[in-house]
Chains A and B, each alone.
Chain A
Amino acid sequence: MFKILKKEYLAPTICLMDIEAPRIARHALPGQFVIVRVDEGGERIPLTICDYDAEKGTVQIVFQVVGGETFRMQKLEEGDSFLDFVGPLGVPSDLTELTPEELREKKICFIAGGVGTAPVYCQLKWLKKNGVDVDCILGARTKDIIVLEDAMREVSNLYVCTDDGSYGIHGNVCVALQQLWDEGKRYDRVIAIGPMIMMKFVCALTKELGVETIVSMNPIMVDGTGMCGACRLVVDGKVKFACVDGPEFDGHKVDFDQAMKRMKQYATEEGRLYLAAKEGDTHHGGCGSCG
């Protein structure tokens, strides 16, 4: 059992938790993920690690309530436990292989969208600790759902943008990146983490600009150790498993259309389970997905 030591809402449907998991905290690096299970009968849910503290033995996760399992996770309180919490899985960011000197020579811009902000924070914090200053664009649909702004600002040169212009730069992350570029900013690398559609459009832009781009993929997974192949993606024309070959890949080589299509594989069943969990016996159809 893995105890929840802290729970906090970053936005109405975005929840942060610190979990007691000393072994994972000791071995985790930026870019890696964990798999959690709420209870017996629960699904295995992959979540990118947002922070870890080897001394306290804690690992931080941030998740958005989007389906039945995340709805159940959100119902857990401080002092409750996850039945399973396994990791750190996946390959750490390749930045962790560089020396601080090599890192300081790189001009990096992070792009964080939605709940992808949390894993970006993990990388920014690690870089800051190694004395590296980087730019970061934080995008959200509207002002109310921007998360971790202050924390992000502490560890990067932060540029916030909103689709509706309610805060910061008016426009999506691509508009913001283009604006920085037009102001004369130049980067060796862009690292984009967020919804697949956002990563797809960032990659289209950076390809034009000629900037290497790394993305963190979050497809459907089951075991997370390479055994099942549910998370397979096409990268550079070859089949790769996000769980063991990734989750970070060269964004210019990822087949996003394929990946987005595969996310829908269980969409209907997920939705049905979510409604069952949320509405219980009061739900009697009409949602279009439970027949």
Chain B
Amino acid sequence: MDMIKKVPVREQDPEVRSHNFDEVCMGYNREEAELEASRCLNCRRPRCVVGCPVNINIPSFIMKIKDGDIAGAYDTISESSSLPAICGRVCPQETQCEGLCVRGIKGEAVSIGKLERYVADTAKAMGIKPHSAARRNGRKVAVIGSGPAGLSCAGDLAKMGYDVTIFEALHRAGGVLVYGIPEFRLPKNAVVDKEIENVKALGVKIETDVVIGKSTTIDALMKEDGFEAVFIGSGAGLPKFMNIPGEQALGVFSANEYLTRSNLMGAFSENSRTPIMRAKRAVIVGGGNVAMDAARTALRLGAETHIVYRRSEEELPARAEEVHHAKEEGIIFNLLTNPVRINADENGWVKSVTCLRMELGEPDASGRRRPVEVPGSEFDIACDCVIMSLGTSPNPLISSTTKGLDINRWKCIEADENSGQTSKKGVFAGGDAVTGAATVILAMGAGRAAAKGIDEYLSAN
């Protein structure tokens, strides 16, 4: 039995937050954090650590919170993670650390994610920085992409003493953390920029506006610019569409476009000159985290918002917390529903989506029950905006311009899981560019593994 119930985290009221872009979750204060920390049993064989893709020593940092030692807790986390303020917010803890927490067997798991966030935010407020390398070794490593994989790889290499430069294609560093995840889940200036400053404080240089494969190539970086190793963390790539009739109508967007306009370009705010459609009624097709982000963005921009997903609630790939938040905010879920056609008005603008009802049949290759169309169930959902959130396929910009870099049949870069080594000497890769679209923390884990792989490779050469 739980002696102390899990300490609930304070959140903005759903009615209020559905009209603003401020962060939904307000995090723990000191009192709440120390109380929640006291629920940790400090297991001798902590299962939570096994569940963490970067194996943070979780019981150790939680004990330090209990003792009021924020600097110590921050150091413990920093040994394994360079982006704690971000992971504390966007990791799927319920299937990782918290999913394995012993307290979760009979009661509720310790809120490890919220405690991690508390440590990171408090350390930032206290001006605590991660420790940089004592000595630089002067050896140059290039990192392509400043998303979670690139930042964690660069951070670790800098701590080992390497001279690291990150090349970022967009005008702002952060990758999916700035173009993909909305402000209300992950504040850009207050959280992402601060974590990036911490990585820079380790000695990492970041060059924005450089598209590797176009502005220069991996071969040129290695031959002309003196980089001894390269890490590719270029992310997931090109958005998929359904290839149904009417998809070129005005008012149909990829979730990537809609979110990039709102997040990277700041189109939700008065200060940005990038336009974004403020729909009256938006239909978001898909059930992943990106679909939830797009839906909650459309809602905040004033739309009555519908999610259309072809399977049932149980199969929704989005985190439970995101689905819960979306529902609280008033997003309407049309489950077991699949669009077959988009209908446009005489000016070419979307006026409705024709859908079919689905039912679940036998399990398919993914192990999930396959959705089957219900004959004759066609119906229309009236709307002026459709946002396709169906995942991405790899961007060929780098693989097509780098000789000797092998890709697999899904066009993802082939890389060793443990070291990140690719088929090309001195070139390593990790994150979505290797796995296809996955999570921030998995990309971070891959970045760290590659940092170790690069260090071993360069130490041997």
- Of B21-29, B150-158, B206-214, the one contacting chain A is B206-214
A222 at the interface (CB under 8 A from B): yes
Interface contact tally, CB-CB below 8 A: 110
Per the bound structure, the CA–CA distance linking A265 and B257 in Å amounts to 13
Chain B binder among A83-91, A117-125, A136-144, A153-161: A83-91
Size of the A side of the interface (Cβ < 8 Å), in residues, is 40
- Contact flags A16-36 to B (C-beta < 8 A → 1, else 0): 000000011011000000000
Query: Which A259-285 residues have C-beta < 8 A from chain B?
Result: 261-262, 264-266, 269-270, 273
The stretch of A6-14, A97-105, A108-116, A224-232 in contact with B is A224-232
Q: Are A262 and B248 in contact (CB under 8 A)?
A: yes
What is the CB-to-nearest-CB distance from A36 to chain B, in angstroms, rounded to a whole number? 10
Q: Do residues A261 and B250 form an inter-chain contact, with CB atoms below 8 A?
A: yes
Contact of A89 among B211, B216, B256, B265 (CB under 8 A): B211
CA gap between A43 and B253 in the complex, in Å: 18
How far does the Cβ of A182 sit from chain B's closest Cβ, in whole Å? 37
The reply to whether B208 and A241 contact each other, CB–CB distance below 8 Å, is: no
- B275 contacts which of A41, A42, A262, A266 (Cβ < 8 Å)? A266
CB pair B257–A239 under 8 Å, yes or no, is no
> What 0/1 pattern do residues 63 to 100 of A give for CB contact below 8 A with B?
00000110000000000000111111100000000000
Within 8 A of A (CB), among B130-152: none
B237 A43 Cβ-Cβ under 8 A: no
The CA of A284 and the CA of B208, in the complex, are separated in Å by: 39
What 1/0 mask marks residues of chain A from 225 to 257 whose CB sits below 8 Å from any chain B CB?
111111010100001010010000000000000
Output the least CB separation between A221 and chain B (Å): 10
Q: Per a CB cutoff under 8 Å, which of B250, B256, B265, B348 touches A44?
A: B265
Chain A CB within 8 A of B223 CB = no
A188 at the interface (CB under 8 A from B): no
Question: Which of B215, B253, B271 interacts with A87 by CB under 8 Å?
Answer: B215
Q: Is the CB of A41 within 8 A of B266?
A: yes
Which of B238-246, B281-289, B437-445 contacts the other chain?
B238-246
| Cross-chain contact A86 with B272 (CB below 8 angstroms) | no
What chain B residues lie within 8 Å of A264 (beta carbons)? 250, 348
Asked whether, in the complex, the Cβ of A225 is within 8 Å of the Cβ of B273, the reply is no
When distances are taken between beta carbons in the complex, the residues of chain B under 8 Å from A69 are 273
B424 in the interface (beta carbon within 8 A): no
Q: B261 to A42, Cβ gap below 8 A?
A: no
Q: How far is the CB of A280 from chain B (nearest CB, A)?
A: 14
Please state if B211 and A227 are interface contacts (CB–CB under 8 Å): no
Q: In whole angstroms, what is the CA distance A229 to B391 when docked?
A: 12
Q: Is A37 an interface residue (CB 8 A)?
A: yes
B210, B253, B254, B274 — most chain A CB neighbours (10 Å): B274
Whether A164 sits at the interface, judged by CB under 8 Å, is: no
Known: A37-B171, A43-B273, A44-B265. A265 touches B239 (CB 8 A): no
A227 touches B395 (CB 8 A): yes
Check: A223 CB closer than 8 A to any chain B CB. yes
| B231: min CB distance to chain A, Å | 18
Q: How far is the CA of A24 from the CA of B395 in the complex (A)?
A: 21
Partner of A228 from B215, B239, B247, B266 at Cβ < 8 Å: B239
* B397 CB to nearest chain A CB (Å): 6
Among B209, B243, B257, B348, max chain A CB count under 10 A is at: B209
For A37, the chain B residues whose CB sits under 8 A away are: 171
B18 within 8 A of A: no
- Please name all residues of chain A whose beta carbon is closer than 8 Å to the beta carbon of B273 when the two chains form the complex: 41-43, 68-69, 273
Residues of A within 8 A of B256 (CB): 227-229
Residue contact A43 to B265, C-beta cutoff 8 Å: yes
- A241 partner, pick from B216, B238, B264, B265, beta carbons under 8 A: B238
Q: Which residues of chain A are near B239, meaning CB under 8 Å?
A: 227-229
How far is B397's CA from A21's CA once the two chains are assembled, in angstroms?
Answer: 21
Whether B257 contacts A24 by the Cβ 8 Å rule is no
A226 touches B397 (CB 8 A): yes
Docked-complex contact A87 and B241, CB < 8 angstroms? no
- Tell me whether A229 and B238 are in contact (CB under 8 A): yes
**CB neighbours of A84 from chain B (8 A):** 171, 208-209
Please name all residues of chain A whose beta carbon is closer than 8 Å to the beta carbon of B266 when the two chains form the complex: 41
B421 interface contact, C-beta 8 A: no
Q: Output the nearest chain A residue to B180 by Cβ-Cβ distance.
A: A227
Contact B248 A234 (CB under 8 A): yes
Pick the residue among B247, B260, B271 that contacts A223 (CB under 8 A): B260
Asked if B170 CB lies within 8 Å of chain A CBs, one says yes
Identity of the chain B residue whose Cβ is nearest the Cβ of A37 in the assembled complex: B171
- Known contacts: A223-B170, A229-B256, A269-B275. The answer to whether A89 contacts B395 by CB under 8 A is no
Q: Is there contact, CB below 8 Å, between A222 and B215?
A: no
Whether the Cβ atoms of B237 and A232 lie closer than 8 Å is no
Bound form: Cα–Cα A228–B247 in Å? 15
Give the interface centre of A222, A241, A273 by most chain B CB atoms within 10 Å: A222
CB contacts (< 8 Å) of B264 on chain A: these are 223
The chain A residue sitting closest to B238, CB to CB, is A226
In the complex, what distance in Å separates the CA atom of A136 from the CA atom of B68? 76
The answer to whether A228 touches B257, judged by C-beta atoms less than 8 angstroms apart, is: yes
Q: Are A270 and B250 in contact (CB under 8 A)?
A: no
B169 within 8 A of A: yes
Q: Is the CB of B171 within 8 A of A83?
A: yes
> A242 CB to closest chain B CB, in angstroms?
13
- Asked if B179 is at the interface of the complex by the 8 Å CB criterion, the answer is yes
Residues of chain B contacted by A23 (CB below 8 angstroms): 210, 215-216
B278-306 with Cβ < 8 A to chain A: none
- The 18 sampled A-B contact pairs (Cβ below 8 Å) are A27-B214, A27-B215, A27-B216, A41-B266, A41-B271, A43-B275, A44-B171, A85-B209, A86-B209, A89-B211, A223-B260, A225-B211, A225-B214, A229-B257, A230-B253, A244-B238, A262-B248, A264-B250
B residues touching A (Cβ–Cβ < 8 Å)? Answer: 169-171, 179, 208-211, 214-216, 237-239, 241, 243, 247-248, 250-251, 253-254, 256-257, 260-261, 264-266, 271-275, 277, 348, 395-397
What 4 A-B pairs are tightest by C-beta distance, nearest first?
A228-B257, A269-B275, A229-B254, A86-B209
List 12 additional contacts besides A225-B169, A230-B253; criterion CB under 8 Å. A41-B272, A44-B274, A83-B171, A84-B209, A222-B260, A226-B397, A227-B256, A228-B257, A229-B256, A230-B257, A244-B238, A266-B275
